[in-house]
Amino acid sequence: MNIDILTLFPEVFKIFDCSIIGRAKQKGIVSINIHNIRDYSLDKHKKVDDYPYGGGAGMLMKAQPIVDCIRSVKKKSKGKVVYLGPRGKTFNQEVAKRLANENELIFLCGHYEGIDERARKCIDEEISLGDFILTGGEAACIPIIDSICRLVPGVLSSKISYEDESFYGGLLEYPQYTRPEIFEGESVPEILLSGHHENIRKWRRLKSLEVTRKYRYDLFKKVQLTDEDKKLLRKK
């Protein structure tokens, strides 16, 4: 997958040189290219913002640097342009799975009070991280790209690595344990030490259902319970 990020603060994205995403980049599974919107400003001081017409607080990103940056990147990428802004639908795991199927993506990070409306003609989709205010699109872009890259084949060690994680199948993840077997008087559940894979699978499924029902009932209500799910819950 090839990802292009358009931003005023390229240094923020050094985080993608670390950990799982960093290793995926080294292997050539994922390519992340950072483009400084400021480089496309026609202003001699490389100014990219100005006061909004009609008055109001703050500064607005000018259309020209944004549009020229997008058009330059589009010469090499056919990816859809995704703007991180408040008008978009809230990002979730289903959106992550959809975007992970793309070969190329271009992310535009807004800043200040947003972007000149005339730059929107170059945007294909808008995504919001949630109903709260961030300093800039960079803060939203990082978790969104991280979430997408984890679903790209080869980034994680196996398909099971992400299919068992919270939200992938609409449920929160089951409780997990590692060594030592006993910590401060608390033992690892006996079933996890049994070696009986089918019983462990059922236990994990039940715990996922219970944890989701307890902590995120809004998610639990949306789950299509299987006959096995109903049986497990009845036994409990």
Is residue 131 part of an annotated ligand binding site?
Answer: yes
Is residue 32 part of an annotated ligand binding site?
Answer: no
Is residue 129 part of an annotated ligand binding site?
Answer: yes
Is residue 110 part of an annotated ligand binding site?
Answer: yes
Is residue 133 part of an annotated ligand binding site?
Answer: yes
- Candidates 9, 229, 225; CA nearest to 112 is 9
Round to whole Å and give the CA distance between 204 and 55: 57
Which residues are annotated as part of the binding site for S-adenosyl-L-methionine? 110, 129-134
Which residues are annotated as part of the binding site? 110, 129-134
